[in-house]
Amino acid sequence: MSTAFTFNNHASDGAARCGEISTPHGKIATPAFMPVGTAATVKAMLPQTVRETGAEIILGNTYHLMLRPGAEEVAALGGLHAFMNWKGPILTDSGGYQVMSLAKLRKMSEEGVTFQSHIDGSTHELTPERSIEIQCLLGADIQMVFDECTPYPCEKEEARSSMELSMRWAGRSKAAFAEHGKSGQALFGIVQGGVHPDLREASAKALLELGFDGYAIGGLAVGEGQDLMLQTLNVTAPFLPEDRPRYLMGVGTPEDLILSVARGADMFDCVMPTRSGRHGQAFTWDGKVNLRNARYADDPRPLDETSGCPAARDYSRAYLHHLVKAREILGAMLVSWANVHFYQDLMARMRNAIREGCFESFAQETVARLNAGAGKET
Amino acid sequence: MSTAFTFNNHASDGAARCGEISTPHGKIATPAFMPVGTAATVKAMLPQTVRETGAEIILGNTYHLMLRPGAEEVAALGGLHAFMNWKGPILTDSGGYQVMSLAKLRKMSEEGVTFQSHIDGSTHELTPERSIEIQCLLGADIQMVFDECTPYPCEKEEARSSMELSMRWAGRSKAAFAEHGKSGQALFGIVQGGVHPDLREASAKALLELGFDGYAIGGLAVGEGQDLMLQTLNVTAPFLPEDRPRYLMGVGTPEDLILSVARGADMFDCVMPTRSGRHGQAFTWDGKVNLRNARYADDPRPLDETSGCPAARDYSRAYLHHLVKAREILGAMLVSWANVHFYQDLMARMRNAIREGCFESFAQETVARLNAGAGKET
């Protein structure tokens, strides 16, 4: 393990934590939301604009990048940071989730997965060793073990054997990282086990035995619903060490983030702010705003006149409605920007509430406000 | 006519002129290139970014805006400047060209044109009076007379009767502008007459008789080719007054702009930089770069490392190639930005060369360089 990767927990408020991660490309205040830069771009946003929203780390997708432009190609161009002109830290996933959700004709074995590209049908293989090699070629500051994304729903025995395979792959990932990882880079383990508390416990203990720089909770936000997701987080977090960051993968809505921070999660990623942005769905403190709705055609109000984000502050809902209806690229640009800014603002306010010891009341008031606003938008 | 709209010609070099237009929303250095903001957005660019390229004026399309969101709707939201958050001058066209190129089921009469929207098939009418009313509702600083876009090629008699109709419409446009136009707003006449010198002369004289704040040359860049376009400019410009700006509509390539400035044109508009940008075609001082080309897949060079434009300077051709191939919105954003910047840089260099009295050598060297580069790109 590196010496440069550190996590310091500066303040706690109940189970909620406020801290700081250090990486070779800079620091990350936690709880942190990582915008998703799937194909070496946070969609419809300049990297500089992403940074200006307050985002300190972004996520890159191993599956997408290995297929196009290719990990060796990115490495030859100086690595992912240089390639996409992002100067801050980058976390890459392992490719496991996308192989299951996007690729065709998968074939699983103890060794790994062979699959066909969703882009051109070409055949590829991902193993723990190759996943880590790719993440090292990309130059990710934080890398993830290669795991099998357990389907949901599934039988408990299927969840068990899938988790146990992922734990064996975690060991192989760690060995590969020891060989390829550079000083300061970090490797996170991923707790699996579906919605079964005993499997989650076994998975967490297996990972702790191996030892990682941080611990992710995987296999959630895959259709189990918010209640089961939070229950699983409840029963998993106590098995994770206090002195390592906890990353809840693929989560979520603003409410999901608040309720998960309340349960001790430190890091999140989700395509929601950018994907919703491209579809004209804006996040505001009064809930979601569907800009396609005709009610906004003559609405001179901005999304949030008090926002520090130009996209939320300087354009009327009527204009955004027009752009979305006319399928103008600027619509995707502005709403994605406003959404990523909103998510970062939410994280900053959560960090502040934790430091001030008022996280519980902040969480209750904010969730209530988000839901009250959402009721008006039908 | 207003008192606030002025044009001052500061320097001449041969037929090329360098001057300044004043409008209610600010000044415009000429020769000027106006990025096209068809549907109240210069496609894939933030208005602030458009301004930072050096663009001082943009063009809005009456046809698109009357159909969506509607002129009265834009007026109720504070006019086009406020609607799209563009603080500088705006020129609107009259809708005549788009009615002919985009609308369905057109019916022409002396009165005007009825047509069906290309968006939803709804029926609309444009007359000189309605076109000016719309442009005033939008709040355009520079407005254009409603004209018929003469098809190309066409018989001379058809070109004559089309031109004569446009001249009658120019008179009606002027009367409507006298009624609706606000202080400081300007109305430009449009010379028609196809590629026939005597028709162009007759058209120019008819417009001068009416008297306008500026004079456009219309009906070119419609398929006649560069030679005929320049010949027509050659025979038309001498009939236009020295003390009014001359606007060559819908032009053009970088070479077109240079050769047209050399013949006394002051203003231009064209979708080329933004449309090419969305298709991965970049303009550089060494000619066009087709970023889809596989030769750029591993090219670490930016489009132009000496550019003041971040899009041209801070991203490799390999990265732009990747974005274009993956159809990422950021590809359209970056290449459009680089292209609009290139066009504005070209105009700035032309203005400088005119002021320094070296326009002819600048023009020759630049055209040669653009063409030498273009030869390498196959």
Residue range B93-107, pLDDT digits in tens: 999 999 988 988 889
The CATH number for A223's domain is 3.20.20.105
Q: Which of A93, A141, A266, A345 does the annotation list as catalytic?
A: A93
Average pLDDT over residues B251-273: 98
Supply the pLDDT for residue A377: 59
End position of a domain, from candidates B276, B292, B318: B276
Taking the CA of residue A299 and the nearest CA in chain B, the distance in Å comes to 8
Cβ neighbours of A61 (radius 10 Å) = 22
CA distance linking residue B214 with residue B212, whole number of Å: 5
Calculate the average pLDDT of chain B. 96
The strand pairing partners of A190, in sequence order, are: A216
* C-alpha span between A76 and B190 (Å, rounded): 54
Instruction: Say yes or no: ipTM exceeds 0.90.
Output: yes
Residues of A with CB under 8 A from a CB of B: 39-41, 43-46, 48, 68-69, 73, 76-78, 83-85, 278, 297-298, 300, 310, 314-316, 318-319, 322-323, 325-326, 328-330, 332-334
pLDDT on residue A363: 98
Distance from C-alpha of B214 to C-alpha of B6, rounded to nearest angstrom:
10
Regarding whether B244 and B103 lie in a shared domain, the answer is: yes
Mean pLDDT of all residues belonging to chain A = 96
Residue B306's pLDDT band (cuts 50, 70, 90): very high
For this structure, is A93 an active site residue? Answer: yes
Q: Which of the listed residues A247, A270, A293 is the one where a domain comes to its end?
A: A270
Mean pLDDT across A231-254: 97
- Answer with the one of A236, A270, A304 that is the final residue of a domain: A270
Catalytic residue annotation of B = 93, 269
Q: Is the pLDDT of residue B349 over 60?
A: yes
**In terms of domains, do A262 and A284 share one?**
no
Nearest residue in A to B41, CA atom: A330
- What is the share, in percent, of chain A residues with pLDDT greater than 70? 98
Both B217 and B284 in one domain: the answer is no
Residue A138 lies in a domain: yes
Q: Is the pLDDT of residue A376 over 70?
A: no
Whether residue B1 lies inside any domain: the answer is no
Q: B2: pLDDT confidence band, cut at 50, 70 and 90?
A: very low
Average pLDDT estimate for B208-219: 97
> Taking residues A214-238, what's their average pLDDT?
96
With cut-offs at 50, 70 and 90, classify the pLDDT of residue A2.
very low
Question: Quick one: pLDDT band at residue B1, thresholds 50, 70, 90?
Answer: very low
Q: How far apart are CA A202 and CA A216, in angstroms?
A: 14
Q: Is the pLDDT of residue A291 over 60?
A: yes
Instruction: Say yes or no: A256 and A347 in one domain.
Output: no
SS (H, E, C) chain B: CCCCCEEEEEEEECCEEEEEEEECCEEEEECEEEEECCCCCCCCCCHHHHHHCCCCCEEECHHHHHHCCCHHHHHHCCHHHHHHCCCCCEEECCCHHHHHHCCEEEEECCCCEEEECCCCCCEEEECHHHHHHHHHHHCCCEEECCCCCCCCCCCHHHHHHHHHHHHHHHHHHHHHHHHHCCCCCEEEEEECCCCCHHHHHHHHHHHHHHCCCEEEECCCCCCCCHHHHHHHHHHHHHHCCCCCCEEECCCCCHHHHHHHHCCCCCEEEECHHHHHHHCCEEEECCEEEECCCHHHCCCCCECCCCCCCHHHHCCEHHHHHHHHHCCCHHHHHHHHHHHHHHHHHHHHHHHHHHHCCCHHHHHHHHHHHHHHHHHHCC
Q: Tell me: do A323 and A246 sit in the same domain.
A: no
Considering the domain architecture, whether residues A46 and A105 belong to the same structural domain is answered as yes
> Is A227 inside a domain boundary?
yes
CA distances from B188 to A371, B18, B118, B162, B198 (A): 53, 19, 27, 18, 21
B204 in the same domain as B75: yes
Residues of B in contact with A333 (CB under 8 A): 44, 46, 329, 333
Domain count for chain B: 2
Judgement on whether residues B48 and B78 belong to the same structural domain of the protein: yes
Q: Which domain holds residue B248?
A: 6-276
Interface of B with A (CB under 8 A): 39-41, 43-46, 48, 68-69, 73, 76-78, 83-85, 278, 297-298, 300, 310, 314-316, 318-319, 322-323, 325-326, 328-330, 332-334
**Does the residue A1 lie in any domain?**
no
Q: Is the peptide bond before A197 cis (omega within 30 degrees of 0)?
A: no
* pLDDT at position A234: 97
Which of B39, B73, B326 is opposite residue A328, by nearest beta carbon?
B39
B323 and B235 housed in the same domain: no
Under 8 Å CB pairs connecting chains A and B tally to 98
Same domain? A130 vs A226: yes
Same domain, B218 and B331: no
Owner of token pair 């038309």: B236
Q: How confident is the model at residue B140 (pLDDT cuts 50, 70, 90)?
A: very high
